Amino acid sequence: MPKKMMGDIKIVRKEAPVKKESNFKIPEPLQIVKPKIIKREPENPIIKPIKFKKDNSKFKRKLFFTILIIIIIYYLLYILSSVNTIIVPKEDIRMINQSVTLESWTKPIKSTIMSINEKTEVSKIEDLESAKTKLNDKIKNRLIYDMPDNYILMDGCKSIISYKEPEFETDPVSKKPIVNNNILEAKMNVLIFEKNSLLNYLKKITVTDDMSVKDITKLSCDLRSDIASDLIMSRQVSFILNGEITFLPIIDTNELINLSKFKTLKSYKLLLDTNPKIAAYTIKINPIPIFPVLPKNPKHIHFILSQ
């Protein structure tokens, strides 16, 4: 068999078969496409403030000085504060019926007899009663305006008003009245007492050394002697004192001040509530009622006794 030479070998290249394209296409599955939201920046964007970190040291310093100033103001107000308390003392009403004889050697009450005289002219007998009424009014006024200083008069310590009437006669011929003396006189004697002497006597017989007399207007005098005569002396007079006397306790405000200073308001009220001499009270703190403790300075604690 004949040999093949290299030059005689032909290399034949086969091309890959070309696939024919088909017009039929497999449908693709439907996809839901979400619309994209496009964020647009505003034309004039808002510039956010830059936050700085607080300086704690400055803040603490300001807080410290603020608290210090408040404390100083509070202390100054406390130093200048004062307490005014109006106290109503508790009344003590006592009834008495005391027989008194103004003998010269005892002299329990300093007294005197005051004589009051009034006169007026009366032209005719028909005017006599109206003239007596006028004289009575004059005597009552003199009891007020002629009373000596520091002397008082109690109801019942006076004589009745005595009159000396004019003398009227009738003319036997003309039958007309003839006036021999046209003067009408009125007279009354009253027993009056020196005020302090009477008050001291009333305190002595009622044993009220720690009280003061507030009212004796309901006290009367029942005379047991006739004082209408000009010859009688006040030391020879006897009478009965009867009626009602109103006493007030003597409250030592200095002692109350010493007990009240630097007390709490609650303790101060308890001190006043438990005092048997106090009926009621009103507390007023100046300038601002914000202090729970009363002033330490006793000059800033004041008591006013309401009579």
Least confident range of 14-23, 148-157, 255-264, 267-276: 14-23
Phi, psi angle pair for 15, to nearest 5° = -85, 145
Check residue 191 and give its pLDDT: 92
In DSSP terms, which residues pair with 212 in a beta bridge? 248
Radius of gyration of the chain (CA): 58
pLDDT at 245 > cutoff 90? yes
ω into residue 17 within 30 of 0, thus cis?
no
pLDDT at 94 > cutoff 70? yes
pLDDT at 27 > cutoff 70? no
Check residue 175 and give its pLDDT: 65
Q: What is the mean pLDDT of residues 99-112?
A: 80
pLDDT digits (tens, 9 = 90+) for 1-11: 455 555 555 55
Check residue 116 and give its pLDDT: 92
Q: Are 93 and 213 in contact (CB under 8 A)?
A: no
pLDDT digits (tens, 9 = 90+) for 249-259: 999 988 888 88
> Measured between alpha carbons, how far is residue 105 from residues 6, 139, 195 in Å?
193, 33, 20
pLDDT digits (tens, 9 = 90+) for 133-186: 999 999 999 988 999 999 999 988 998 899 988 877 766 666 666 666 788 999
Check residue 47 and give its pLDDT: 55
Confidence band of 33 (pLDDT split at 50, 70, 90): low
Phi, psi angle pair for 200, to nearest 5° = -65, -35
Q: Are 242 and 222 in contact (CB under 8 A)?
A: yes
Q: Are 152 and 193 in contact (CB under 8 A)?
A: yes
| DSSP state, residue 158 | B
Task: Give the up-direction half-sphere exposure of residue 163: CA atoms within 13 A in the CB hemisphere.
Answer: 14
Nearest to 119 by CA among 131, 129, 102: 131
> Where is 190: in which H helix or E strand?
strand 183-194
User: Taking all residues of the chain, what is their mean pLDDT, rounded to a whole number?
Assistant: 79
> Can you give the pTM of this predicted structure?
0.62
Cα–Cα distance for residue pair 42/44, rounded to 1 Å: 5
Check residue 117 and give its pLDDT: 92
pLDDT digits (tens, 9 = 90+) for 53-75: 556 777 777 888 888 887 777 67
